[in-house]
Amino acid sequence: MSRPPTAPWPGSWEPLARLALAEDLGRAGDLTSDALVPPDALAAGGLVARRAGRIAGMEVARTVFTGLDPRVSIEVLAADGDDAGAGETLARLSGNARALLAAERTALNFLGHLSGIATATRELARLVGDHPRIVDTRKTLPGLRALEKYAVRVGGGANHRFGLDDAVLIKDNHLRLAGGVEKAVRRARSAFGHLVSIEVEVESLEQLESALAAGADVVMLDNMSPPLMAEAVRRARGRALTEASGGITAGSIAEIAATGVDLISVGWLTHSAPSLDVALDLDGRGPD
């Protein structure tokens, strides 16, 4: 899909943007700027990437600035999905100086976090090319799931479940409570015949065969060795999609991809990807 991915409805994250501003402004507001900068002073500057990365969250950052002061103007030079080099200016801002300074950290916290996820996803996606697809997990940070999963899409990945309610995913703990793979898949199928996909985690070829026999849509191959995974992929072909899971890193991903698996899920994209370093550099130089 060359078309850029669709961002979540602003109405869904604007409350978080307001909350984050409130979290930073506290009860007394920006003491430093209030003391040092005249209320009507204007300023201009750039959002600059200190390191190279894929940009995600620029519209959220814009909303933080304009949420604090609707008169701030932002010219976006690197939109979501663009790859920026180290030192590149991502956007030019101008407006009330106090507003730019007061919104800076909140805007950058969103932009850095989401661009960090997009950058990490893009790096993995580049290592595997068109197949398999890199997918995320539900290991997201509280309150940020929809934005984080959007950043994964921006990075070239695809989304796994958004929550417990949009597909069945039968894992280890379920099998301990519900009996074997085949019984569990059949039971889920009879509970939700219509529109709901069923995925099951398997650790052996026996479990795989049970899952396929019961009609699972997707099988998650959990922590399998590459040769075992390749055999599992071979058996599942045409019967179910296959997903590799479990501690996969940039170092191991090529070997996993070579098994022919359809999907590789990577939890750390959303819970541990380092933030992309972006800063606000105001123009000019005060009298000294």
Segment contacting a second copy by CB under 8 A, of 72-80, 87-95, 98-106, 248-256: 98-106
User: Which of 104, 123 has the CB closer to a second copy?
Assistant: 104
**Residues 216, 246: Cα–Cα separation, whole Å:** 20
As annotated, the active-site residues are 105, 139, 171, 201, 222
**Residues 102, 280: Cα–Cα separation, whole Å:** 11
**Residues 230, 236: Cα–Cα separation, whole Å:** 10
User: From the CB of 143, what's the least distance to a second copy, in Å?
Assistant: 5
User: Which of 88, 201 has the CB closer to a second copy?
Assistant: 201
Q: Is 152 helix (H, G, I), strand (E, B) or coil?
A: helix
- From candidates 54, 62, 122, 133, binder to a second copy by CB under 8 A: 133
Length of the chain: 288
Q: What is the footprint of a second copy within residues 176-235 (CB under 8 A)?
A: 176-180, 184, 187-188, 190-197, 199, 217-218
Q: From edge to edge, which strands make up the β-sheet containing 89-96?
A: 73-76, 89-96, 42-49, 278-282
- Joined together, the tokens standing for residue 65 give 């600035």
- Give the binding-site size for a second copy (rule: CB under 8 A): 117
User: Which of 24, 209 has the CB closer to a second copy?
Assistant: 24
- Joined together, the tokens standing for residue 40 give 């009507």
**Residues 25, 199: Cα–Cα separation, whole Å:** 45
Secondary structure (H, E, C), 15-57: HHHHHHHHHHHCCCCCHHHHHHCCCCCEEEEEEEECCCEECCC
Segment contacting a second copy by CB under 8 A, of 87-95, 108-116, 121-129, 226-234: 108-116
Which residues are paired to 74 by β-bridges? Answer: 93
- Joined together, the tokens standing for residue 147 give 């934005």
Q: What is the footprint of a second copy within residues 58-97 (CB under 8 A)?
A: 67-68, 97
Segment contacting a second copy by CB under 8 A, of 121-129, 225-233, 252-260, 265-273: 265-273
Q: What is the footprint of a second copy within residues 29-58 (CB under 8 A)?
A: 29-39, 41, 43, 45
- Joined together, the tokens standing for residue 227 give 């040769």
Is 24 an interacting residue with respect to a second copy (CB under 8 A)?
yes
